[in-house]
Amino acid sequence: MAESEKKVLILPEMVTVAELAEKLDITATSLIGELFKNGITATLNQRIDFDTVSIIVDELGLDIELEKREVGIADGGETLAPRGISADAVARPPIVAVMGHVDHGKTTLLDNILGLQVVEGEAGGITQYISAYQTTRNGKVITFLDTPGHETFTALRQHGAVLTDIVIVVVAADDGVKPQTVESIRFAQEAGAKIVVAITKIDKAGANINLVMTQLASEFGLNPEEWGGDTIMVPVNAKTGEGVDKLLDMVVLVADMEELKAENDVPADGLIIESKISHGRGPLGRILVRNGVLRVGEYIVAGSTYGRVRTLQDYRKKPIKEAGPSTPVSVTGFKDVPKFGDRVFEVKNEREARALAAKHYDEISQSTATANITGNDLLKMMNKSTEQETVTVVIKADVQGSLTSVVDSLKLLSTDEVAVKIVSLGIGDITEGDVRQAEISGAVVYGFNVVVSPNAKQIARGQKVPIRTFSVIYELIDDVKAEMSAKLAPEIIDTEIGELKVEGIFHTTRTEVICGGLMTRGKLYKDLSARIFHKKEPLGEATVTSVQREKSEAKEVFEGDMCGLSLATDKKIMLQIGDRLEFFSREVKSRSI
């Protein structure tokens, strides 16, 4: 096919595996297998970026030319048309993500900016969700996203960067650049977001602001303005507030230079940044509005669910009637819990909403088995024949974002020797049904920020089904790792110690051999193991129970010494003059994932 005749496929920056498989006209299983070849363990609902799609299309040898477009709004309920910025577009608040290493003080910084006490409410002082807030500086609104800091929240953090205009990368002056700092910088750069660096903990012993700036400049090309570069870096003390005003001024300055705008007089669209079942309110989705104005009473679609907006609440949980561009808002009225990362858009009526949600549901449910693919399944796709142990789990979480993060993190743990198998997952408290499922499949029930119903506790005690609940997600992941590690075969380490040539045999039974000989190398002492060789043929193994030199017990003997020894065996060994004994120590070490 000529270059000009290639099929042109227009894709957004991020696309789900299910959507891409349909557009490429290949099976989802084939696509997941190809992603696995490239080191990506994916599910049907997982989003992959445009650059990854380009690599996969190239490796599949497809005659397809890819073009990138911005995600647009619903066009007649059938397609998603691209949307440009018109002359009627209005200025909008900047969306600012705060990212960084787990303990570099980003949530404390947000506390100071917003006057909240977020960190005190977080388990382990670690952000567990993407939380969205708004503040005002010099009369201008800024929307902040506080993204989780632990490595298991990589998927959440990446969505946060995709949403973002400006990323404040938090780096502690006493600790420097860490792997999560690198991830944050990479996500921001891939999303095309502007980077502002907040150098925290400047009051700590060992704080070195210049060293941090040098690291960022030399390793990542983030040259400080003070050094003639274009990256704004602001030293701050998150606890006292020193430098925070300047940091906000710099954020407003960058936003003004970017001239951020959004369409206002169009159907609303946005992204789900959190979802859960709210007691007394039903399914709840937290949406970051991108374009248009979302109002009470409008019909909206989010992935495979839809609804009519019943209530809107701002980040302070105060009721509001409408939410414009760059505004985070909690929405009730969904028929089911929307999924984290699902795109939300307003439609004309319930019929259109129902039809679009059903279409999306059909696309992602073409293969239920593929959606719950395990590391073991992926290995089978790759035609690898290996025996794997399995850790079987049931997962329950309080919100969709946490559930997604837990599941994605667990799938990445699987190795050639032991795999994680998720037999059931869902949002909400642990119920009798979850315990029954675990009982049937021999699973451990894991809960994140959920409680266990009394009936579930009673059944679990009676049937000895383990239930473990956590409020810090990486502790849950570590517990699963421990379960996996217990199934790994131990590592056996043999260390060569010495060698003896047999020159006399004094007593032989089925369980004991007494002999003597010359130490030809190394040394010999009690409790060593011995391999017995006749010429080059191994006869078996034994344990040294005693060592004698000149008819007396010896603690150890060395090369060149004549000695006698007793060997304990588990089978009768026909030892002969001239046979060789190789002595070694054996250590059995447990292994871990």
Q: Where does the pLDDT of residue 188 fall: very low under 50, low under 70, confident under 90, or very high at 90 and above?
A: confident
DSSP-assigned states of every residue in 50-118: HHHHHHHHHHHT--EEEEE----EEETTTEEE-----TT-EE-PPEEEEEE-TTSSHHHHHHHHHT--H
pLDDT at 369: 41
Pairing of the two strands 194-200 and 232-235: parallel
Cβ count within 10 A of residue 122: 19
Residue 112 and residue 65 share a domain: no
Domain ranges, residue 203: 93-259
Mean pLDDT of the 186-215 span: 87
Q: Which of 426, 454, 486 is the last residue of a domain?
A: 486
Check which CATH number belongs to the domain holding 221 and give it: 3.40.50.300
Lowest model confidence (mean pLDDT) among 147-161, 347-361, 403-417: 147-161
Q: Which of 486, 519, 541 is the last residue of a domain?
A: 486
pLDDT at 459: 86
Residue 115 and residue 22 share a domain: no
Residue 79 located in a structural domain: no
Whole-number mean pLDDT of the chain?
81
pLDDT at residue 75 is higher than 80? no
pLDDT at residue 126 is higher than 80? no
Residue 443 and residue 297 share a domain: no
Structural domains in the chain (count): 5
How does pLDDT run across 324-351, given as a tens digit for each residue?
Answer: 999 999 999 999 888 877 889 899 999 9
How does pLDDT run across 380-408, given as a tens digit for each residue?
Answer: 444 443 467 889 999 998 877 778 778 87
Q: Which span out of 123-132, 324-333, 405-414 was modeled with the highest average pLDDT?
A: 324-333
Residue 508 and residue 454 share a domain: no
pLDDT at 121: 44
pLDDT at 162: 59
Check which CATH number belongs to the domain holding 401 and give it: 3.40.50.10050
Q: Which of 554 and 279 is assigned the larger pLDDT? A: 554
Q: Where does the pLDDT of residue 272 fall: very low under 50, low under 70, confident under 90, or very high at 90 and above?
A: confident
Question: 151: closest CA among 374, 413, 378?
Answer: 413
pLDDT at residue 84 is higher than 60? no
Mean pLDDT of the 441-447 span: 91
Residue 84 located in a structural domain: no
Mean pLDDT of the 86-113 span: 80
**235 bridge partner residues:** 199
Residue 36 located in a structural domain: yes
Q: Which of 319, 338, 364 is the last residue of a domain?
A: 364
pLDDT at residue 55 is higher than 60? yes
Give the Cα separation of 193 and 11 in Å (integer): 20
Q: Which of 75 and 553 is assigned the larger pLDDT? A: 553
pLDDT at residue 226 is higher than 70? yes
Q: Which of 47 and 126 is assigned the larger pLDDT? A: 47
Residue 456 and residue 337 share a domain: no
Q: What is the CA radius of gyration of the chain?
A: 32
The 8-class DSSP code of residue 371 comes to H
pLDDT at residue 149 is higher than 60? no
Q: Are 377 and 368 in contact (CB under 8 A)?
A: no
Residue 466 and residue 428 share a domain: yes
Residue 378 and residue 356 share a domain: no
Residue 80 located in a structural domain: no
Element (H, E) at 548: strand 537-549
Q: Which of 362 and 277 is assigned the larger pLDDT? A: 277
Q: Where does the pLDDT of residue 426 fall: very low under 50, low under 70, confident under 90, or very high at 90 and above?
A: confident
Q: Which span out of 198-207, 351-360, 481-490, 556-565 was modeled with the highest average pLDDT?
A: 556-565
Check which CATH number belongs to the domain holding 13 and give it: 1.10.10
**513 bridge partner residues:** 508, 567
| Segments of 314-379 assigned E as strands | 319-320, 322-323, 328-334, 343-347
Q: Where does the pLDDT of residue 241 fall: very low under 50, low under 70, confident under 90, or very high at 90 and above?
A: confident
Q: Where does the pLDDT of residue 27 fall: very low under 50, low under 70, confident under 90, or very high at 90 and above?
A: confident
pLDDT at residue 58 is higher than 50? yes
Q: Where does the pLDDT of residue 13 fall: very low under 50, low under 70, confident under 90, or very high at 90 and above?
A: low
pLDDT at 120: 42
Residue 74 located in a structural domain: no
pLDDT at residue 580 is higher than 90? yes
pLDDT at residue 503 is higher than 90? yes
Mean pLDDT of the 487-492 span: 84
pLDDT at 373: 45
**Percent of residues, the chain, with pLDDT higher than 90:** 32
Burial (0-12, 13-18, 19+ Cβ within 10 Å), 394: buried
CA distances to 42, 56, 243 from 34, in Å: 10, 7, 48
User: What would the two tokens of residue 126 be?
Assistant: 């670690």
229 half-sphere exposure, CB direction, 13 A CA radius: 18
Mean pLDDT of the 115-132 span: 50
Q: Are 277 and 403 in contact (CB under 8 A)?
A: no
Residue 254 and residue 129 share a domain: yes
Residue 242 and residue 110 share a domain: yes
Residue 83 located in a structural domain: no
Q: Determine the residue type at 397.
A: A
CA distances to 114, 280, 429, 447 from 398, in Å: 25, 15, 7, 8
Residue 438 and residue 394 share a domain: yes
**Percent of residues, the chain, with pLDDT higher than 70:** 83
Residue 122 and residue 200 share a domain: yes
Q: Determine the residue type at 380.
A: K
pLDDT at residue 371 is higher than 70? no
Residue 253 and residue 320 share a domain: no
Residue 512: CB partners within 8 Å, gap ≥ 6? 545, 566, 567, 568, 569
Mean pLDDT of the 440-467 span: 89
pLDDT at residue 470 is higher than 80? yes
Q: Where does the pLDDT of residue 531 fall: very low under 50, low under 70, confident under 90, or very high at 90 and above?
A: very high
pLDDT at residue 270 is higher than 60? yes
Check which CATH number belongs to the domain holding 577 and give it: 2.40.30.10
Residue 77 located in a structural domain: no
Q: Where does the pLDDT of residue 43 fall: very low under 50, low under 70, confident under 90, or very high at 90 and above?
A: low
Residue 235 located in a structural domain: yes
